[in-house]
Amino acid sequence: MTAYVPPMDLDEFRQAGHDLIDWIADYWERLEDLPVLSQVAPGDIRASLPASPPEAGEPWADIMADVDSLILPGVTHWQSPNFFAYFPANASPPSVLGELLSAGLGVQGMLWATSPACTELETHMLDWMIELCGLPDRFLSTGPGGGTIQDSASSGALVAILSARERVAGQWRMPELVAYTSEHAHSSLEKGVRIAGLFAEQIRVIPSDENHAMDPVKLREAMVADIVEDRRPFFVQATTGTTSTTALDPIEAIADVCKDFGAWLHVDGAFAGSAAVAPEYRFVNAGLQRADSYSFNPHKWLLTNFDCSLFYIADRGPMISALSVLPEYLRNEATEKGAVIDYRDWQISLGRRFRALKLWFVIRTHGAEGLANFVRSHVDMAQDFAERIGNHPSYEIVAPNPLSLVTFRHIGGDAENERIRDTINASGDAYLTHTKINDQVVLRVSIGSQHTEQRHVDAMYGLLDTLA
Ligand SMILES: *Cc1c(COP(=O)(O)O)cnc(C)c1O
């Protein structure tokens, strides 16, 4: 008989845990001084690690020392107040504590029966978010629809595609199906369509208007052209807040087209959806009551660390018939009676974590008012920054900036913009990324870290001014 001796007893765990929370708080405190973008070269981190795992267990203190010396240099500091790249992936103290509690409970929430609180708190949080963000009632769990937490908006898009495919199963054949999206939509649509068993040729990329939003007239034309060829428009993904410029596709007009052709409408609000916690920004969701499904990511802009992507559906029927398989070993009374939600039927994988805890902690500690003020602070800073950059003789604003992302370019051309971006990123003082609009390199300053204050945005402006 081999006896397992845990290397860390509960007293040691208490101590290490307290120290780790201190480590995180210290890290957040000194973030400002760390180079934002990791400056290591490919392979550097692996080369610093032992080639083989240790034969005997090692002291905890040695492991944490290696976190400081080996891991941190290879970390890009997403929580840095000087992080202006991509979109934020912000965290907050209550969300980190929720994550820790979820790990400690170690619950597997695949079925209601495997931990009722895991399912019911999630259902309740998704309904709370409807009230917090003014989302359509048709997504409430008390009706035929409902919401769940996915690992990512990409998974949400895939579930939407599979549900749309299921809705037309038996009427239309797979090779006839066509999905539509805009040229500025996220790549997750193409990936989802391919995973769902369609070919890339079954996707139509609809041109956008002068504001980079999907043009519904072009969408209708594309569908008509497909119908003429005996193809079936089955799915449209619209975006509220595109990744390039936070352009807002006209949901209402797109929904009219979808209705005429019987296509499913999925709305991707991954980033911008969080803005709706402040009532004055609910314009981002105009027309959403016409959507079949919707997703947005509190793990981007709502203080809840990755992963926490909310997925809502107006009629859960096709989703459950697409994703439910009930083997003998999962049979249980609550499921058989149909009295409960089993979230395994709402996602790709079977297993799932207790992610609702961190959302619950975030909502309760901030309140609706605290969450609204958080996004307001970023939008205010971004609008002020946009005004200053727009007035700068060497820069021009290139697209509407309705929220906390500012897109602009140096008037000197692509090489000049790349030089400015690379110089700032190599300095470690701040981190920004680019996109391409009308084939031109455009700089993006995205404001959304939990720690970003006006002085950090001022410093970013100062860097751009100096390099202009
Ligand atoms: C970030 C983003 C996504 C992808 O989100 P994941 O949760 O990482 O899959 C999808 N759509 C838009 C518009 C995004 O900005």
pLDDT tens-digit profile of 209-263? 999 999 999 999 999 999 999 999 999 999 999 999 999 999 999 999 999 999 9
Identify which has the larger pLDDT, 328 or 322. 322
Rounded to the nearest angstrom, the distance between the alpha carbon of 270 and the centre of ligand 1 is 5
Q: Which atom of ligand 1 is nearest to the CA of 309?
A: 7
Q: Give the distance (Å) from ligand 1 centre to CA of residue 297.
A: 8
Is the pLDDT at 25 greater than 90? The verdict is yes
Ligand 1 atom, smallest distance to 239 CA: 13
| Closest atom, ligand 1, to C-alpha of 185 | 13
pLDDT of residue 334: 84
Which of 181, 195, 245, 271 to mutate to test ligand 1, by most ligand atoms within 8 A of the CB atom? 271
- Residue pLDDT, tens place only, 43-71: 999 999 999 999 999 999 999 999 999 99
* 334 vs 73, higher pLDDT: 73
Residue 335 — very low, low, confident or very high, per pLDDT cuts 50/70/90? confident
Q: Which residue has the higher pLDDT, 326 or 239?
A: 239
Helix (H, G, I), strand (E, B) or coil at 248: strand
| Residues 160/292, Cβ–Cβ less than 8 Å | yes
Q: Is the pTM of this model over 0.75?
A: yes
CA 468 and chain centroid, separation: 33
Residue-wise pLDDT tens digits, 306-325: 999 999 999 999 999 999 98
317 CB contacts (<8 Å, ≥6 apart)? Answer: 144
CA angle in degrees (0–180, nearest 5) for 430-70-86: 30
- The residue to mutate among 87, 90, 152, having the most atoms of ligand 1 within 8 angstroms of its beta carbon, is 152
CA 188 to centroid of ligand 1, rounded, Å? 7
Tell me which residue has its CA closest to atom 8 in ligand 1. Answer: 152
Pairing of strands 146-150, 309-313: antiparallel
pLDDT at residue number 281: 98
What does the alpha-carbon distance between residue 85 and residue 135 come to, in Å, rounded to a whole number?
A: 28
Q: Please report the pLDDT score of residue 98 as a whole number.
A: 98
Distance 242 CA to ligand 1 centre (A): 9
Q: Which residues line ligand 1 (CB under 6 A)?
A: 87, 152-154, 186, 188, 239, 241-243, 268, 270-271, 297, 309
| pLDDT over threshold 90, residue 332 | no
Given a cut of 90, whether residue 155 has pLDDT beyond it is yes
Check residue 338 and give its pLDDT: 81
Residue 416 burial (C-beta neighbours within 10 Å; 0-12, 13-18, 19+): middle
User: Structural domains in the chain?
Assistant: 10-33+38-75 (1.20.1340.10), 91-468 (3.40.640.10)
Q: Which atom of ligand 1 is nearest to the CA of 156?
A: 9
For the segment 370-426, what is each residue's pLDDT rounded down to a tens digit?
A: 999 999 999 999 999 999 999 999 999 999 999 999 999 999 999 999 999 999 999
Q: Per the structure block, which two tokens stand in for 236?
A: 């449209």
Going from the Cα of 24 to the center of ligand 1, the distance in angstroms, rounded, reads 26
